[in-house]
Amino acid sequence: MPSIKCKCGKRLDIGTIPNPNEWLAISDVDYDGYSEQVDAEALYEKFTHFLECDNCGRLWFFWNGFNGPAECYEKSKHI
Ligand SMILES: [Zn+2]
């Protein structure tokens, strides 16, 4: 099963369906293009996929799909 290794060392699966570490995001502009009931598969095509490491909380965004490189974001708190 494909996976990526987080900076903390935890291996995150990519192919699990449904994936408990995977989130789906869509831009507000793209979402605004839908005004009626949507075809779930058509909407799914618009999503950006990201994984949340359940060990350290880092987020791994696949901006160009799973075939492209993942970009890591580390959580920080604003005080
Ligand atoms: Zn991690």
pLDDT at residue 78, as a whole number: 83
CA 42 to ligand 1 center in whole angstroms? 31
The one-letter code for the residue type at 20 is P
Could you give the angle at the alpha carbon of 40 between the alpha carbons of 38 and 44, nearest 5°? 115
Using DSSP's 3-state secondary structure scheme, residue 40 falls into helix
Residue 40, token pair as written in the block: 């779930």
CA 7 to ligand 1 center in whole angstroms? 6
Look up the pTM and report it.
0.87
Report pLDDT digits (tens) over 45-69: 999 999 999 999 999 999 999 889 9
CA 17 to ligand 1 center in whole angstroms? 20
CA 52 to ligand 1 center in whole angstroms? 8
Pairing outcome for strands 48-52 and 59-62: antiparallel
- Domain boundaries defined on the chain: 3-73
pLDDT at residue 69, as a whole number: 93
CA 21 to ligand 1 center in whole angstroms? 11
